Amino acid sequence: MVSRRLLACATLLAACQGALGSTSSAPGEENDPPPGADGGRDGSVRLPDGRVAPPAPPELEDDGGVPSEFAPLSVRAYVSKVKSVLTALPPSEHELRKVEANPGALPDLIEAWQATPEYHDRMLSFFTMAFQQGDVTNEMLMNVNQFQQINTDPRIMQNMRESFGRTVLQLIAEGKPFSDVLSTRRYMLTPALAMFMAWLDERSSGDGGGVSDLLDQELGQNGKYTLQGDTKIPLEQSVDPASPNFLNFYSAQVAAMTGDCRKPLVIDRDNRLTLYTMTQGETLMRHFLGNPFNSTFFCNYAARETVLNRADFNSWKMVNLRQPRSGEKATWVYQIPKFRSGEELVFRRPYVGFYTTPSFLYNWQTNTSNQARVTINQTILVATGQKFDASHNAMPVSTAAIETSHAMPGTACYACHLAMDPMRQFFRSTYTLYWSVQSDSKQLPPVFVLGEQSTMGNGIASLGESMKQSDRFASAWVQKLCIWANGAVCDPSGSTDGAPSDPELLRIAALFADGYDWNAMVRTLMSSPLVTYSAPTATSMAQGHAYSIAKKDLLCRRWDHTLGLDDACGLGALPSTQSGDAVKTIATVLPADSYSRGQSTPVLANDPGMFFFAGVENACAALAARVVDVDGAPYQSRDVDGAIAKMVHELMGIPAPDDVEPIAILKEHFSSALADGAAPALRSTFMLACLSPSTVSVGQ
Amino acid sequence: MLGLRSLATGVPVSMLANPARAQSTSLDDPQFLILNTSQAGDPLNCNAPGTYLDSKILHPGDAKMAKRSFMIGGQAWDAAAPWAALDPVFERCALIHHSTETEQHLHQPEVLGLMGSVLAKDMAVSAFAAQLAPALGTIQPQPVTLGTVDSSEAISFRGRPQPMLNPTSLSTVLGGTEGPLANLASLRDKDLDRLNRFFKERGTLEQRRMLDAYATSQGQVRKLSTDLLDQLAALKDNGADAQVAAAIVLIRMKVAPVVTVHIPFGGDNHFDDGLGKETTETVAGMATLAKLFDGLKSVQLSDKVTFASLNVFGRTLTRKDFGRSHNRNHHLTMLVGSRVKGGVIGGVVPKNDDYGALAIDSASGRGGDGGDVSPATSLASVGKTLGAALGLPRDVLDATVVNTSSGKTVGKVIQAALK
């Protein structure tokens, strides 16, 4: 054991020096080996022709535990792993040779990958998951907002889930520090999402429940609006209170109807209350979205677009959200031109950081008993990876908000409430239990208590500013990204419960904390032995190396990119165009990255169990019908050699010269299957490639 | 060393030396398990037999939930009318009043792990599944999870989260390919083995382990009985009825020793003013259970499958918030199976500002002071009792349900719940 630790320390030092990231290229041509090198630092062996062979696998007894000797991952395997994690694409032969020649070249490659749309997609997926924005459902919205209709437009739901991830990407693109995720008041919104948020904003509920619609109050007893298909009224007039056409909208949807449904639709206080018991804002919003009412008792509007158009769900802009100044009115739900212009919007509810977005607040909704404890707990978990645990908390500067009826002094529960109760006041003093603006002046002011910090808070924004001071913010996000890459906690303890202790992770976190340059941190971590397994780390020596199946998002993106498909798994908002699509059905149950309530570690479903194999096999069969011998598809039986080479290089991610044997296996399979016809034979060959371990997992 | 530990813990040396001893094919009448579990902490405990002895306990006022009398274990008990759905199985149904000692939703995995009292910090049903699988001859030892509401209800097996499935996806996931691609399946298997070998020859030990696991899963898929897949294909929704129907099919296919489902009985009903949701879902949930037991009977599996219901916690027996709140002190576990003796075990007593479970006399099943199963050890005892109902030997249970720090066995089998 002693010798193993000594080995770990020595190699760790070497690894850290390497991972600090010399970004200089090797001398000479790109494919030249570094002078004097006989073999790779990963244990690989240089061949006479200059290529590098992977290290021989260690001959170890497989007792199911951590191997007794460190065995580095080959350059080819770890470059493949890193590129796959970051882009869902395989590395090229050129890229592999570059790192084989000079392992220090990996950060440069990563930097190039970071400029691709595929990296953007993968980071969007990561941020959506890690900021816990992706799980909000229509039912959650209904619970808090007391909807009268069940189905919120799925495009709005998708916009809501993606909004903060896109916000983070935009902040990074603007060169802002990553810590702005805690304090930003600018968000990426679509016009449709902005309109939906305006509707949420005008719907006010106190702690006691009930709904007061502020637009109803604004319009008064005689307020009404019209949708008609007779006169094309410019939208600017329809939303201008000074215009005679105010709230008279031209609707292409109504214009497309016949019979009674072609008549102008006038919604006034009487019919919206007696027929639909909706508020003015809700009916208006639903008309704009094109799904005004349940079509079984009203006109069945076939067209999806009414006043909003398709682009209103797809055009993202960074929008500053602020609260009204004295005497100023908030942005109303009908002010569509404002939503489209991307100018500043005025909402009553304060929006700041990741923890006040609709997708976060409705996911972590609260009640009279919980009093926003779940919300503050999840906020702290997301930002710092810490749970409320009295063992490391300072005494709060004020204990007035502690509910002794919920937890008695001296109990373990009380120790947690000591910090949680004063902290929950960040939410309770700002929002009601229904996330409307809090008007209860008796709500106590918030107190920030985390680690050694305890300070009085001042509004919801001060929560973000205090979290920025946490010494766990940087390490928590390095850890989250590391877990995402490896499918395992990057800590010798194998747990995120305590303070991080892997020296390499702490080193990267320290670099990250100096300026919070996200993309630089990605480069450092992804080229670190924490992820590449090219050298021992404290984590790998204690926990071994983790290998995982490709989780849902990665596998689906891999299929998209390598098969030329647009949303193979139907992960988008609208139903797949493939009727009865087996891939979409299977994708719903593929293991995915996600966080459970109260957990600082995501669910790590890494194993290739029976259901995974069966599901992927059937998905591959369904994909075979879409990508083999179909017009425009990548694989055609008239060019079997080309198709098989493409399968091996792109789908399986095995470039030359390692491709010889896989190509031979696939060609032999095609030949053996040819008796059933060329197309079935090539489809079966595709299935084989699609089921290859390198296709369905990470790091093989 | 093992001898000392055996003396200290009361666990036989043979078990300490090899806790997996029970993983043999020699278990006497091993049972499959269908487990109903919910992280919402449904109010299943609130209108059950044993909660009508104290008139201060709150029950829904709806006529559908009116009090009715039932004979359970030779004794008359009052319960809400929907419990009549269990009439046909009351002679093999034990209703255990106990505590899960938590009021936090996020402790759902911990409760299934008997609050840290399962060897290697596994979930009890997963530890039992591993022990039952060889004797039952199932394709995989891991439990199958159906109907989870979110990842907090995911079942882990030896610390590894298992996939969260649903009835409508099962036939698509498990159904084999058709036409020419089906004819080529054995050829593909052979060539996939070649690809696996290609990667293994280049891989590290841990990469090879992953490849072996992948090959194992491939072999498991090939063992699936295809003639039952049509029944899975007939399931058109993911509701509770479909979940129990799917569970029966999966057990007939011998897919796994344990299948978990989520049957709503009122959910997290803080705001259930008038207890309307509790009423609706209790009526529907009990009807689902009746369908489950009818379904098992129709395929001659009543004596081969044990049913259990274990949630993260029960709910307050009095009004809190606008409905019911979390109750760390009271929960009702339901066991139904061929080894289970009908009866109501334990009871409730006023505690703090609500009610909590009484201590249980494990021999008689009576609740009250002096019971040898305290509320604090009752969850572990329920776990052991479930294990015994599934056919696991006592020494195996003693070695499986332990204080993981001291190694001492925790809780005891509640014999009164067993035949």
Which residue of chain B has the CA closest to A58? B204
Q: What is the pLDDT of residues A669-681, one digit of tens each?
A: 999 999 989 999 9
Banded model confidence at residue A260, pLDDT cuts 50, 70, 90? confident
CA separation (Å) from A104 to A17, A22, A511? 10, 5, 18
According to the 3-state scheme, what is the secondary structure of A578-635?
Answer: CCCCHHHHHHCCCCCCCCCCCCCCCCCCCCCCHHHHHHHHHHHHHHHHHHECCCCCCE
**Residue B118 gets which letter from DSSP?**
B
Q: How far is A590 from chain B (nearest CA, A)?
A: 7
CB B135 within 8 A of CB B129: no
Give the residue-averaged pLDDT of A622-629: 95
> What pLDDT was estimated at residue B26?
73
> What pLDDT was estimated at residue A335?
93
Which residue of chain A has the CA closest to B105? A597
Q: What is the pLDDT of residues A308-365, one digit of tens each?
A: 888 898 999 999 999 999 999 999 989 999 999 988 999 999 999 999 999 999 999 8
CA A363, CA A351: separation in Å to the nearest integer? 16
Q: What is the pLDDT of residues B100-110, one digit of tens each?
A: 999 888 789 99
CB B79 within 8 A of CB B14: no
What single-letter amino acid sits at A315?
S
Ranges A176-185, A305-314, A489-498, B324-333: which has the least confidence: A305-314
Banded model confidence at residue A54, pLDDT cuts 50, 70, 90? very low
Give the residue-averaged pLDDT of A217-236: 86
> What pLDDT was estimated at residue A400?
83
Instruction: Please tell me which of the candidates B154, B187, B196 has its beta carbon nearest to residue A603.
Output: B154
pLDDT at A192 over 60: yes
Q: Which H/E stretch holds residue B77? A: strand B75-80
Task: Report chain A residues whose CB lies below 8 A from the CB of B181.
Answer: 621, 624, 680, 683-684, 687
> Which candidate, A515, A615, A518, places its Cα nearest to that of A569?
A615
Banded model confidence at residue B358, pLDDT cuts 50, 70, 90? very high
CB B73 within 8 A of CB B87: no
CB B342 within 8 A of CB B91: yes
Task: Report chain B residues whose CB lies below 8 A from the CB of A699.
Answer: 207
Rg of chain B on CA atoms, in Å:
22
Whether residue A597 and residue B206 make contact (CB cut-off 8 A), yes or no, is no
Cβ-based neighbours of A639, under 8 Å, separated by 6 or more:
none
> What pLDDT was estimated at residue A407?
65
What order do you get walking across the sheet with A317-322 strand by strand?
A186-189, A317-322, A345-346
Give the residue-averaged pLDDT of A91-116: 97
Residues linked to residue A447 through DSSP beta bridges, in sequence order:
A456
CA A385, CA A375: separation in Å to the nearest integer? 14
φ, ψ of residue B146 to 5 degrees: the values are -115, 145
Q: How far is A163 from chain B (nearest CA, A)?
A: 22
* Residue entry with tokens 């509770």: B240
Q: What is the pLDDT of residues B83-106, one digit of tens each?
A: 999 999 999 999 999 999 998 887
Q: What is the pLDDT of residues A529-562, one digit of tens each?
A: 999 999 999 999 999 999 999 999 999 999 999 9
Whether residue B180 and residue A617 make contact (CB cut-off 8 A), yes or no, is no
CA A520 to chain centroid, in Å, comes to: 19
Give the residue-averaged pLDDT of A225-246: 91
pLDDT at B210 over 50: yes
Q: Which H/E stretch holds residue B308? A: strand B305-309
Give the residue-averaged pLDDT of A70-84: 94
Burial of A222: CB neighbours in 10 Å, binned 0-12, 13-18, 19+: exposed
Banded model confidence at residue A498, pLDDT cuts 50, 70, 90? confident
Average pLDDT score, chain A: 83
Whether residue B140 and residue A699 make contact (CB cut-off 8 A), yes or no, is no
- In degrees to the nearest 10, what's the CA dihedral of A180, A181, A183, A185? 100
Which residue of chain B has the CA closest to A623? B177
Whether residue A684 and residue B187 make contact (CB cut-off 8 A), yes or no, is yes
Banded model confidence at residue A47, pLDDT cuts 50, 70, 90? very low
> Which candidate, B26, B18, B23, B21, places its Cα nearest to that of B2?
B18
Q: What angle do CA B289, B292, B296 make, to 5 degrees?
A: 145
> What pLDDT was estimated at residue A506?
98
Q: What is the pLDDT of residues B264-303, one digit of tens each?
A: 999 998 878 899 999 999 999 999 999 999 999 999 999 9
> Which candidate, A632, A597, A696, places its Cα nearest to that of A360?
A597
CB A420 within 8 A of CB A388: yes
CA B118, CA B401: separation in Å to the nearest integer? 5
CA A251, CA A237: separation in Å to the nearest integer? 14
Give the residue-averaged pLDDT of A376-386: 94
Neighbours of A208 (CB within 10 A): 10
CA A377, CA A394: separation in Å to the nearest integer? 17
> Which candidate, A219, A229, A233, A126, places its Cα nearest to that of A172?
A126
Give the residue-averaged pLDDT of A247-259: 83
CB A163 within 8 A of CB A170: no
pLDDT at A52 over 80: no
B-facing residues of A in 333-352 (CB < 8 A) are none
Task: Report chain A residues whose CB lies below 8 A from the CB of B106.
Answer: 596-599
> Which candidate, B343, B251, B256, B260, places its Cα nearest to that of B304?
B251
CA B116, CA B110: separation in Å to the nearest integer? 6
Instruction: Please tell me which of the candidates B151, B169, B217 has its beta carbon nearest to residue A612.
Output: B217
> Is A73 an interface residue toward B (CB < 8 Å)?
yes
CB A350 within 8 A of CB A459: yes
Q: How far is A208 from chain B (nearest CA, A)?
A: 11
CA separation (Å) from A2 to A9, A529, A544, B74, B246? 11, 21, 17, 66, 53
Extract the tokens encoding B256. Answer: 């796994």
Cis peptide before A657 (omega within 30 of 0): yes
pLDDT at A521 over 80: yes
Please give the ipTM for the structure prediction: 0.82
Neighbours of B275 (CB within 10 A): 23
Q: What is the pLDDT of residues B114-170, one digit of tens each?
A: 999 999 889 999 999 999 999 999 999 999 999 887 777 889 998 888 888 999 889
pLDDT at A282 over 80: no
Residue B57 DSSP SS3: coil
CA A240, CA A221: separation in Å to the nearest integer? 19
Query: pTM for the full model?
Result: 0.81
Ranges A87-96, A516-525, B215-224: which has the least confidence: B215-224
pLDDT at B20 over 50: no
Return the percentage of chain A with pLDDT > 70, whole number. 81
Q: What is the pLDDT of residues A400-436, one digit of tens each?
A: 888 776 666 766 667 778 888 999 999 999 999 999 9
Which residue of chain B has the CA closest to A671? B187
Instruction: Please write down the long-range contacts of A522-525, taking CB distance under 8 Å and 24 or more positions apart.
Output: A522/A86, A522/A110, A522/A114, A522/A481, A523/A21, A523/A107, A523/A110, A523/A111, A523/A114, A524/A19, A524/A20, A524/A21, A524/A107, A525/A478, A525/A481, A525/A482, A525/A485
CA A54, CA A296: separation in Å to the nearest integer? 65
CB A257 within 8 A of CB A275: no
> What pLDDT was estimated at residue A276?
44
Burial of A699: CB neighbours in 10 Å, binned 0-12, 13-18, 19+: buried
**Residue A90 gets which letter from DSSP?**
P
Give the residue-averaged pLDDT of A458-486: 96
Instruction: Please tell me which of the candidates B184, B211, B322 has its beta carbon nearest to residue A693.
Output: B211
Q: How far is B8 from chain A (nearest CA, A)?
A: 28
Which residue of chain B has the CA closest to A590? B163
> What pLDDT was estimated at residue A520?
98
Extract the tokens encoding A14. Answer: 């070497």
* Residue entry with tokens 């395997």: A77
CA A99, CA A34: separation in Å to the nearest integer? 11
> What pLDDT was estimated at residue A115?
97
Q: What is the pLDDT of residues B6-18, one digit of tens each?
A: 444 444 444 444 5
> What pLDDT was estimated at residue A394?
77
Q: How far is A683 from chain B (nearest CA, A)?
A: 7
pLDDT at A58 over 50: no
CA A288, CA A285: separation in Å to the nearest integer? 5
CB B139 within 8 A of CB B254: yes
Which residue of chain A has the CA closest to B39? A597
Which residue of chain A has the CA closest to B146? A589
CB A636 within 8 A of CB A643: yes
> Is A493 an interface residue toward B (CB < 8 Å)?
no
φ, ψ of residue A327 to 5 degrees: the values are 80, -5
Is residue B50 left, alpha or beta, with left meaning phi > 0 and alpha meaning psi from -120 to 50? left
Residue A170 DSSP SS3: helix
CA A545, CA A539: separation in Å to the nearest integer? 9
